[in-house]
Amino acid sequence: MAFSFDTLVSDIRQAAKAPDAEAAIREVLTAAVADPAPLIAATPEDGEDEILYFEDETLSIWRCRFHPHEAIPAHEHKLKVLIAGYAGGETSALYRRGPGGLEHIETVTARAGDVITLDRDAIHTVTTEGGAPSLAIHVYLGPLTALQRDLFDPETGAAVAFSMESFEAMKRPV
């Protein structure tokens, strides 16, 4: 049977009903990205970079494409997120709030075949590894678009209310 994002979304939604939803979702994502070729084939090379496939009060499912040589501004989700890479490498520099602004804690990369987790209090910037775009499925354990959350000014580190307009304006070349 050919891969379809609709089927993947359905499988994730079913997994979210399990007693250990996070583990069940991770299992679905791990199986999906074990062979990334069908996901890559099903992803248009042009079009939207971030597509929301599903959202309710318990779950948000996105497909995200990040481009090389572009830094996504520091932002928070306020939700745990599982990131399943299926092309390129999506690198997250993780931060925490500190007295002088954001303090870097670690850097993690989701490469094709990897499933990583960012905790609900994570603040991160995103870049790609190498010269190709990264592609990943992001599964947030809650309603991402319904939350008030912050972006962080790349010059000052000051928190500002998240909006798509501010998010786009704060993207920077690497």
| DSSP label at residue 146 | G
CATH of domain 5-173: 2.60.120.10
What type of residue sits at position 51? I
d(CA 111, CA 31): 14
**Domain extents in the chain:** 5-173
pLDDT digits (tens, 9 = 90+) for 60-92: 999 999 999 999 999 999 999 999 999 999 999
pLDDT of res. 99 = 87
pLDDT of 125-153, one tens digit each? 999 999 999 999 999 999 999 999 999 98
* Distance in angstroms (rounded) separating the CA atoms of residues 66 and 33: 17
- Model pTM? 0.95
CA 97, 102, 103: angle at the middle one, nearest 5?
A: 95
Spatial distance between the Cα atoms of 15 and 134, rounded to a whole number of angstroms: 25
Give pLDDT tens digits for 81-120. 999 999 999 999 999 998 888 999 999 999 999 999 999 9
Q: Are strands 123-129 and 70-76 parallel, antiparallel or unpaired?
A: antiparallel
- Looking at residue 34, what is its pLDDT? 97
